[in-house]
Amino acid sequence: MAEIAAGRIHVVDDDESVRDSLKFLLRLYGFEVDLHASCQDFATDFDGGRGCLLLDQQMPGMTGVEFVEGHRALLRDLPVLMMSANMEPEARERATRAGVVGFLDKPVDTGRLVDELRRLLAAA
């Protein structure tokens, strides 16, 4: 496997099984991973630094798009990949305008996910 660029992957998903699966998978590929059950948990825990945010769109309380729109300062140096099983075109447009750099359909394709994360970390 190719060497991983420095940075942490911050996974935000309300589904514990998705978080745990992504953590296991990403660690197999050499990524450092932090898990967060909600956008608020991430906002509270994030201390800056290099990495990438892997963000679920559909969560209770606040969607991924709403979080990105409301936290641009926090996310300014952190590329955001958004995951969704069913992303509406309007939400995708809003996310793009707010700075989301990529979208992944759930269930997430492992190869595409790893390629995107490597690309984003290498560019950071």
Per-residue pLDDT of 75-108, as tens digits, reads 989 999 999 999 999 999 999 999 999 999 999 9
Q: Are 82 and 39 in contact (CB under 8 A)?
A: no
Q: What is the pTM of this model?
A: 0.94
Q: What beta strand segments (E) does 21-108 contain?
A: 32-36, 51-56, 80-84, 102-105
Report strand pairing: 51-56 vs 8-12: parallel
Closest CA to 23 of 7, 13, 35, 39: 35
Write the pLDDT tens digit of every residue in 29-39.
999 999 999 99
Spell out the domains of the chain, with CATH numbers in brackets: 8-123 (3.40.50.2300)
Write the pLDDT tens digit of every residue in 59-81.
999 999 999 999 999 998 999 99
Q: Which two tokens stand for residue 21?
A: 């699966």
